[in-house]
Structure 1
Amino acid sequence: MKTPKLKAVKTAVHIVEKTLLNPYNPIVVNLIGAGGTGSQFLTALGRINHALIALNHPGLSVRVFDDDKVEEANLGRQLFSTAELGLHKAVALVNRINLFFGTNWKAIPEKYDLKTMQDEPELAMAEITITCVDTVKARFEIADLLSKVYASRRHSYHHPLYWMDFGNSRDIGQCIISTVAEIEQPASRKFEVVSRLPLVTDEFKELLKSSEKGDRTPSCSLAEAITQQDLFINSALANLGASLLWQLFSEGMLFNRGFFLNLKDFRTQPIKVTPNEVNNVKVLKPKRLKAQTPKAA
Structure 2
Amino acid sequence: MSTTKQKVHFVDNELLNPTNPVTVNLIGAGGTGSKVLTALVEMSHSLFALGHAGLQVRLWDDDLISEANLGRQRFAQSELGLHKSVALINRANRWAGTRWRAETIKYDLECFTDNFTHASATLIISCVDSVQARFEIAEILRKMYRNGSYNNRPKYWIDFGNGQDTGQVLLSTVGKIAQPKSEQFIPVANLPFVTDEFGDLFQQSEGVDDTPSCSVADALQKQDLFINSALAQMGMSLLWSLFRQGMITHRGFFLNLGEFRSQPIKVE
TM-score band, normalised by shorter chain: over 0.9
Q: Could you tell me how far 1:120 is from its partner in structure 2?
A: 5.9
- Residue of structure 2 in register with 1:231 after alignment: 225
Structure 2: gaps (5+ residues): none
Which deviations, in whole Å up to 9, do the C-alpha atoms of 1:158-178 show, x marking residues without a partner? Answer: 411100000000010000000
Structure of greater relative contact order (alpha carbons < 8 Å, 6+ residues apart): 2
- Residue of structure 2 in register with 1:103 after alignment: 98
CA distance in 2, matches of 1:63, 1:94: 8
1:258 paired with 2:248, answer no
The structure 1 residue matched to 2:125, chosen from 118, 130, 134, is 130
CA distance in 1, matches of 2:149, 2:185: 28
What is the aligned-residue RMSD (CA, Å)? Answer: 1.1
The structure 1 residue matched to 2:145, chosen from 145, 150, 154, is 150
Paired residues, what number? 268
* One-letter code aligned to 2:78: A
Q: Could you tell me how far 1:225 is from its partner in structure 2?
A: 0.6
1:240 paired with 2:234, answer yes
Task: Determine if contact 1:30/1:63 at 8 Å carries over to the other structure.
Answer: yes
Which deviations, in whole Å up to 9, do the C-alpha atoms of 1:196-249 show, x marking residues without a partner? Answer: 001100010111111122222211000111011000000000000110000000
* One-letter code aligned to 1:9: T
Q: How does 1:56-205 map to 2 (within 5 A)?
A: 56-118=51-113, 121-155=116-150, 157-205=151-199
The structure 2 residue matched to 1:20, chosen from 15, 20, 23, is 15
Query: When the two structures are superposed, what TM-score results if normalisation uses the length of structure 2?
Result: 0.98
Task: Determine if contact 2:116/2:140 at 8 Å carries over to the other structure.
Answer: no
Structure 1: gaps (5+ residues): 1-5, 275-297
Query: When the two structures are superposed, what TM-score results if normalisation uses the length of structure 1?
Result: 0.88
% identical aligned pairs: 57
CA distance in 2, matches of 1:91, 1:201: 29
CA distance in 2, matches of 1:119, 1:111: 16
Task: Determine if contact 1:52/1:59 at 8 Å carries over to the other structure.
Answer: yes
CA distance in 2, matches of 1:53, 1:118: 35
Whose Rg is larger? 1
- Residue of structure 2 in register with 1:10 after alignment: 5
